[in-house]
Amino acid sequence: MSAAHHEDDHEPHDGPKVLTETTSAGGKKIRTVQVVRPEPHDASFLEAGAKGLGITLKHFARNLFLPLRKASARAKAGAPVDEKWKNEIETVQYPEEKVTYPERFRGLHRLMLRDDGAVRCVACMCCPTVCPAHCITIIPAETDNKGIEKKPAVFEIDELRCVVCGLCVEACPCDAIRMDTGEHARPTEERADGIETLETMLARGIRSTAKQGGEGPNWRERATGTPDGEVNR
């Protein structure tokens, strides 16, 4: 089989090796080609089959018996388990074990708080405007604080409709809405349960360290020397 392949290597195109090429009376091309058939030992699949069985057997034995050895070794000494005794099972047993999401994972929304515990959102309507899925509903209300003017009376996000693009967080001028909870939308039995309300999102919120009204025009100079990530937290 390999010999036949080597002969094919310097052919201009892939395909069977052409032995003779003639033209029939009718003007049609007639070609005789060399057909490559597998050698008997390849055709019986014995060699390859045995090799494959060896691989699967190795994995099976390793995954079946090594957890036992690992457990007994752990119980004995509490010593670190040697890397070669680890089994190779990749399964994460989901509700009990969880994979930690990457730091910038966009999860469930939350609403941030002011220093006095009130909602930071000023109902400026930037996020429902930019939202491509139209999943944010805000009904504004007046506040007693004349410097703020508005607050959301109703703030609802339909998580079943949300496309988790993060544009609402980008659009927010006052660090009121964030998607950094690290949780994903929970499965629900009713569609209505998939809607996050002002209360549920505030419950996840923390006090923002962003300064009310911003740092002023020359914030860059004043932030110099601050460790990364501390400016806006």
Partner 1 sequence: MTASLSSSLAAALPDWVPSGWAILDFPATKWAILILLLVMPLASLLTWAERRQSAMMQDRLGPNRANIGPIKLKGILHFVADALKMIFKEDFVPANVHKGLFALAPILALAPVLIAFAIIPFGPTIFPHEFTKVLDPVELASNPAAPQFADSIRLQIFRADWGLIFYFAVLTLANYGGTIAGWASYNKWALLGGLRSSSQMMSYEVAMGLSLMTPFLIAGSLEPGYIVEHGANPELSPAHPLNWLWAGGSVWLVAPALFSLLLFFTAGIAETKRAPFDIPEGEPEIIGYFVEYSGIRWGMFFLAEFIEIVFISAVIATVFFGGYHVPFLEANGFRVPGLMIPGLESPTGYWHLPMPHGLVVGLQIMAFGAKVVILCWFQLMIRWTLPRFRADQLMNLGWKLLLPLSLLTIMVTALLKLIMMM
Residue 209 gets the label, from left (phi > 0), alpha (psi -120 to 50) or beta, of alpha
CB of 78 to partner 1, least distance (A): 25
- Options 17-25, 45-53, 113-121, 206-214: segment touching partner 1 (CB under 8 A): 45-53
- 45 is an interface residue for partner 1 by CB under 8 A: yes
Told to check if 214 binds partner 1 by CB under 8 A, we report no
Task: Report in angstroms how near the CB of residue 93 gets to partner 1 at its nearest.
Answer: 7
Instruction: Kindly provide the b/e burial profile for residues 39-78, where b requires at least 16 CB atoms within 10 angstroms of the residue's own CB.
Output: eeeeeeeeeeeeeeeeeeeeeeebeeebeeeeeebeeeee
Secondary structure E strands in 24-176: 29-34, 110-111, 136-142, 150-158
- Kindly write out the interface string for residues 85-114 of this chain, putting x where it contacts partner 1 by CB under 8 A and - elsewhere: ---xxxx-x---------------------
Binding mask 46-65 for partner 1 (x = CB under 8 A): ---x--xx-xxx-xx--xx-
Torsion angle, CA of 28/34/36/37, rounded to 10 degrees?
100
Shortest reach from residue 47's CB to partner 1, in Å = 12
Which residue, 27 or 40, has its beta carbon nearer to partner 1?
40
Whole-number Å distance between alpha carbons of 209 and 136: 25
Stretch that binds partner 1, among 19-27, 37-45, 192-200, 218-226 (CB under 8 A): 37-45
Bin 75: left if φ > 0, else alpha if -120 < ψ < 50, else beta.
Answer: alpha
Q: 3-class SS at 230?
A: coil
Q: Which is nearer to partner 1, 49 or 173 (CB)?
A: 49
Which is closer to partner 1, CB of 38 or CB of 173? 38
Q: Closest separation between CB of residue 58 and partner 1, Å?
A: 9
Answer yes or no whether residue 154 interacts with partner 1 by CB under 8 A. Answer: no
Residue 199 contacts residue 184 (beta carbons within 8 Å): no
Binding segment for partner 1 (CB under 8 A), chosen from 3-11, 39-47, 76-84, 212-220, is 39-47
Torsion of CA 196, 197, 202, 204, to 10 degrees: -20
CA-closest candidate to residue 85, choices 70, 75, 73, 74: 70
* Binding-site ranges for partner 1 (CB under 8 A): 40, 43-45, 49, 52-53, 55-57, 59-60, 63-64, 88-91, 93
